[in-house]
Amino acid sequence: MIGLVVGLVAFWVPIRMDRQAQERERSRTCVDAVIDLRAALRTIENGYATNPDHKSERTVDWAAGKAEIERVRASCLDAPLASANGVEQSKMLWQQYDTEQNAARHSPPPLEAVRALDAWTLDAIADLTQR
């Protein structure tokens, strides 16, 4: 009986430790992607603040932001985010970003989606680092 318990513990503890390590790695990867997204969003905002009429630079900024959004979507899909901050629940923000990116081709957009995504990044970072 004691041997059975010891055997179960010896089997269960490494599996649990491995799951915890995987969760920490998923969180770290997600946080890294979210921080990079935050930087890309700041680049967009700062670009419009300093030189809003330079459309080619703004287009590059929007494309870089879109690439970071895709990275966050992939990196954070299995991360332990609270449901309010989950990637699946944030699809509306991604769609708003696409809408503003398309509008930016014609005139400076209001940057509401950029600001909403910026707030989301703060919430996601707080959520992932409090675990």
* Domain ranges across the chain: 24-129
23 CB-contact burial (10 Å; exposed 0-12 / middle 13-18 / buried 19+): middle
Return the structure tokens found at 23.
């969760």
Write down the pTM of the prediction. Answer: 0.81
CATH class, domain 24-129, is mainly alpha
Q: Convert the pLDDT of each residue in 38-93 to its tens digit.
A: 999 999 999 998 888 888 899 999 999 999 999 999 998 888 888 767 777 788 89
The CA–CA distances, whole Å, from 104 to 17, 60, 87, 109, 114 equal 48, 11, 24, 5, 12
Asked whether the beta carbons of 76 and 97 are under 8 A apart, the reply is no
Q: Convert the pLDDT of each residue in 11-33 to its tens digit.
A: 555 556 567 778 888 889 999 99
